[in-house]
Amino acid sequence: KSISDSNNNHQSKHHHHHHNHNKKSTATSTVIKNTTNKNTMRVIAQQALSSKVIESNYLPIIHKESINLVKYFYKNAGILINPVDALTHSISKTFSLITFGTSAEKFSFDFTEFLESANALEQKEIQIESLQFLRKISSTQQTLENKVHLSKTKYAEISKQIVGSLKKTTAKNSTNDKCFTGEILKSMKPKADEKEFLNLSSNLLFNGIENTLAELKPVGFFSQPYIVTKDDIYQGYHIPQNANVIFNTNTLHFNQTLFERAKRFSPERYLDEQGHLKQNPDSAKVWMFGKGPNASIGEYLTEITLSAIIAHTLALFIITPEIDETTGDEKEINMEGVSNGFKLDAPNYNVIFELRKDVDHEKIFRGNY
């Protein structure tokens, strides 16, 4: 049967050579068209997230979410809390509001929940890929399948509601809907490239959040994947064909040949000779937002969001480590695997937020400080 099918296929290809050639040309044209659409949408996205647009439209949202985070720390002052959890939630919510507009604020909690599922899913995939024996553990495979289902279901549901809401808003008043989603929707043909747009906006959101946490999670889980096209040898190590390649930016950023005293926090590293903040300090060495055509579109948005949150927090609170009940001394934060080496998850650590003495309590809730 296989030989017969093969002969028939060969004859068919021979008799319809010119027709198949036309099909190939059409397919090539489609690929070029799709690539052009992607590039066009990326340009639109860059315009929608330019520094001018962010500073004129999104600063109030960032300011509001920073204040909400400060209120959270204030209400829990003196209690041991893990600040990373609160920061992640606040950043996730800020990005979802900016990406999908204030009209989608009611979906922000669901979207944060989706991001947590997607993040866990991506980490699990990397662990399974690295440690093949995990595939044999039924509970691990079941967890992965559950996360896949939850993420796809949650994202499909939220995307449909948000895009529908924004389309209605954009149709009614195209001047007021200045969120990232609205800007792109205005440039799209009705019902065209919607899937492409959703992928672009979600990738923007994921990349932004992951990059803000890059110091704690050095691997970009949502970054562009790379594979080795043929067997290779690098510095004595054999790299097989089709192996996944993940850039460990953590190792790069702690490279002593690139950064003097790399493991120490040195603010002067980011200042010029006049003591002013550099615009792009060591941009050739820092890969927090990727490089080239795969660089994160939301770099400026990420930087300004994280800067605002940290500035609000440090201006109002003194942050101290957990106290050891036995010795009365401050516990050392376990940085093993975070500042050195390769680690998917940062260890949990608890700290205490104490309000600074010169801070007016009432001003915190008014957001006027």
What's the pLDDT tens digit per position in 136-170?
555 555 665 666 666 666 766 766 777 777 777 77
For residue 93, being part of any structural domain is answered with yes
List pLDDT tens digits, range 263-321.
Answer: 777 777 778 888 887 776 556 666 677 666 667 777 888 888 888 888 888 888 998 88
- The token pair at 279 is 């615009």
Indicate the pLDDT class of residue 178, thresholds 50, 70 and 90.
low
For residue 367, being part of any structural domain is answered with yes
Residues spanned by the domain of 138: 59-227+301-369
**Which residues, 6+ apart, have CB-to-CB distance to 295 below 8 Å?**
289
- Residue 218 pLDDT: 41
For residue 321, being part of any structural domain is answered with yes
Mean pLDDT of 91-96: 78
**Which residues, 6+ apart, have CB-to-CB distance to 360 below 8 Å?**
369
For residue 12, being part of any structural domain is answered with no
In which element (H, E) is residue 44 found? helix 17-48
Smallest Cα–Cα separation from 271: which of 279, 259, 263? 279
Contact in structure between 319 and 352 (CB atoms under 8 Å): yes
For residue 103, being part of any structural domain is answered with yes
- Residue 282 pLDDT: 58
For residue 98, being part of any structural domain is answered with yes
List pLDDT tens digits, range 254-266.
Answer: 778 877 787 777 7
Q: What angle in degrees, to the nearest 10, is found between the helix axes of 108-130 and 194-212?
A: 80
Return d(Cα 71, Cα 364) in angstroms, integer: 7
- The token pair at 292 is 């080239």
Single pTM value for the model:
0.64
Residue 216 has pLDDT above 60, yes or no: no
For residue 74, being part of any structural domain is answered with yes
Measure the N-to-C terminal CA separation of the chain; round to a whole number of Å. 80
Return d(Cα 39, Cα 223) in angstroms, integer: 17
Q: Among the listed ranges 17-26, 42-51, 111-120, which one has the minimum average pLDDT value?
A: 17-26
Q: How many domains does the chain have?
A: 1
β-strand partners of 330 = 323
Residue 343 has pLDDT above 60, yes or no: no
- The token pair at 293 is 């055509």
β-strand partners of 237 = 234
- Residue 211 pLDDT: 52
Classified as helix, coil or strand, 359 is coil
Residue 25 has pLDDT above 50, yes or no: no
Alpha-carbon distance values, 266 to 166, 215, 241 (Å): 44, 15, 41
Q: How many CA atoms lie within 13 A of 230 on its CB side?
A: 0
Comparing 20 with 141, which gets the higher pLDDT?
141
For residue 339, being part of any structural domain is answered with yes
